[in-house]
């Protein structure tokens, strides 16, 4: 007589335990992913770089919230302009050293920085562009303080999170004359979803919200703002009013190449779109080498020389 009810109880209990176990797996993966998003590995380095001349000038400056940001200046005796170089998530300025010296050969000097929570800069974590906007503004303030920098000939180059952060930052008060992004995300939500689908083969609709929740708790900031209102695609009309060059590789496995098209269509100022076949995330420079640097340098110098406005 009790076999039927007992069977129901056992089945329901088993389903409940399975559901609890599945929820635990989701929370575990989300917590680990959230921690990785909030706390990138500071030890990232390129293989040993050869000694290059002239040497990079180490320096430091405050972000607009007072966070100490580490920087390195590569000066040119007669520069055609100055470029602020912004690295991507989980790397640091070392990833842009080769580009800085290649631009120097084309008469452009550079300021390389480590975002907060990366490399040698202060900060316990990253906010994927939200607080990093203050690092960009602090870097621009620093450039304006240097007597060897022409304030009317400053551009920004950003790769991945660096490009997205530049698009999130209102740089108009600093007269930025040109902006180049490489594999920047249009929305952080899309980048997170892409990562779960292609890298981990997991459904983003299940993991996205708890991942962002955990990351927010780790850094003490509402990262959902980056997923919502504060996102490059929504801000590009207000922030990218200067000439804009958008670069993206077709084989990017971190940020959809479609993000480049979305950003291009949303921008209202002078803009160019350069899609590079067979290039992965952050690998466009390696794919084309001199041709890549020539295109970037020509775009920047043309913007400086003509001081174009929308």
User: Do 103 and 174 have their domain in common?
Assistant: yes
The pLDDT value given to residue 20: 54
Question: What 3-state class would DSSP assign to 10?
Answer: helix
In angstroms, the CA 276 to CA 273 distance is 10
The pLDDT value given to residue 43: 78
User: Do 19 and 66 have their domain in common?
Assistant: no
* Structural domains counted in the chain: 2
In a domain, 44, yes or no: no
Q: What angle do CA 74, 80, 85 make, to 5 degrees?
A: 45
User: Do 113 and 210 have their domain in common?
Assistant: no
In a domain, 47, yes or no: no
In a domain, 13, yes or no: yes
Question: What 3-state class would DSSP assign to 151?
Answer: coil
Strands (E) across the chain are located at 57-62, 68-74, 82-86, 109-113, 154-159, 178-182, 244-249, 271-276
Instruction: For residue range 24-46, list pLDDT tens digits in order.
Output: 655 555 566 655 666 777 777 76
- Span 271-295, average pLDDT: 94
User: Do 8 and 103 have their domain in common?
Assistant: no
The pLDDT value given to residue 85: 98
User: Do 212 and 235 have their domain in common?
Assistant: no
In angstroms, the CA 6 to CA 62 distance is 67
pTM for the full model? Answer: 0.85
In a domain, 48, yes or no: no
Asked if 180 and 144 count as a contact pair (C-beta separation under 8 A), the reply is no
In angstroms, the CA 228 to CA 223 distance is 9
In angstroms, the CA 166 to CA 133 distance is 7
Q: Is the peptide bond before 54 cis (omega within 30 degrees of 0)?
A: yes
User: Do 155 and 15 have their domain in common?
Assistant: no
In angstroms, the CA 253 to CA 16 distance is 36
In angstroms, the CA 74 to CA 295 distance is 20
User: Do 167 and 272 have their domain in common?
Assistant: yes
User: Do 146 and 268 have their domain in common?
Assistant: yes
- Is the pLDDT higher at 22 or at 177? 177
- CATH number for the domain spanning 116: value is 3.40.50.1820
In a domain, 194, yes or no: no
Instruction: For residue range 214-228, list pLDDT tens digits in order.
Output: 556 656 666 666 556
In angstroms, the CA 69 to CA 138 distance is 8
The pLDDT value given to residue 280: 93
Largest CA distance in the chain: 95
In angstroms, the CA 207 to CA 215 distance is 12
User: Do 74 and 138 have their domain in common?
Assistant: yes
Instruction: For residue range 143-165, list pLDDT tens digits in order.
Output: 999 999 999 999 999 999 999 99
In a domain, 173, yes or no: yes
Residue 65: DSSP 8-state: T
In angstroms, the CA 81 to CA 61 distance is 20
- Span 47-69, average pLDDT: 89
Domain with 282, as residue range(s), is 54-187+231-306
User: Do 108 and 160 have their domain in common?
Assistant: yes
Alpha helices for the chain (secondary structure H): 3-38, 97-104, 132-145, 161-168, 188-194, 204-219, 224-227, 232-239, 258-266, 284-288, 290-306
Structure tokens at 173: 């008060």
Asked if 140 and 170 count as a contact pair (C-beta separation under 8 A), the reply is no
- Span 5-19, average pLDDT: 46
| 269 beta partners | none
């Amino acid at each position: 007589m009790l076999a039927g009810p007992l069977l129901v109880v056992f089945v329901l209990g088993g389903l409940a335990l399975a559901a609890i176990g599945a929820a635990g797996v989701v929370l575990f993966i989300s917590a680990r992913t959230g921690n990785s998003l909030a706390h990138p590995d500071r030890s990232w380095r390129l293989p040993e770089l050869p000694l290059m001349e002239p040497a990079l000038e180490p320096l430091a400056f405050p972000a607009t919230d007072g966070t100490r940001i580490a920087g390195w200046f590569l000066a040119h005796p007669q520069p055609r302009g100055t470029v602020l170089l912004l690295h991507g998530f989980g790397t640091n300025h070392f990833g842009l050293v080769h580009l800085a010296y290649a631009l120097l050969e084309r008469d452009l000097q550079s300021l390389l920085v480590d975002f907060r929570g990366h490399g040698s800069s202060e900060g316990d974590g990253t906010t994927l562009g939200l607080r990093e906007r203050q690092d960009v503004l602090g870097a621009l303030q620093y450039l304006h303080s240097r007597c060897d920098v022409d304030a009317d000939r400053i551009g920004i180059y950003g790769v991945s999170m660096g490009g997205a952060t530049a698009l999130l930052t209102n740089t108009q008060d600093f007269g930025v004359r040109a902006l180049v992004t490489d594999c920047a995300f249009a929305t952080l939500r899309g980048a997170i979803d892409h990562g779960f689908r292609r890298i981990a083969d997991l459904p983003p609709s299940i993991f996205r919200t708890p991942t962002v929740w955990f990351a927010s708790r780790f850094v003490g900031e509402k990262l959902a703002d980056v997923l919502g209102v504060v996102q490059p695609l929504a801000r590009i009309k207000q922030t990218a009013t200067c000439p804009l060059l958008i670069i993206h590789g077709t084989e990017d496995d971190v940020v959809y190449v479609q993000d480049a098209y979305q950003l291009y269509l949303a921008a209202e100022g002078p803009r160019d779109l350069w899609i590079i076949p067979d290039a992965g995330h952050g690998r466009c420079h390696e794919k084309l080498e001199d041709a890549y640097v020539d295109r970037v340098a020509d775009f920047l110098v043309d913007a400086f020389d003509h001081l174009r406005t929308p």
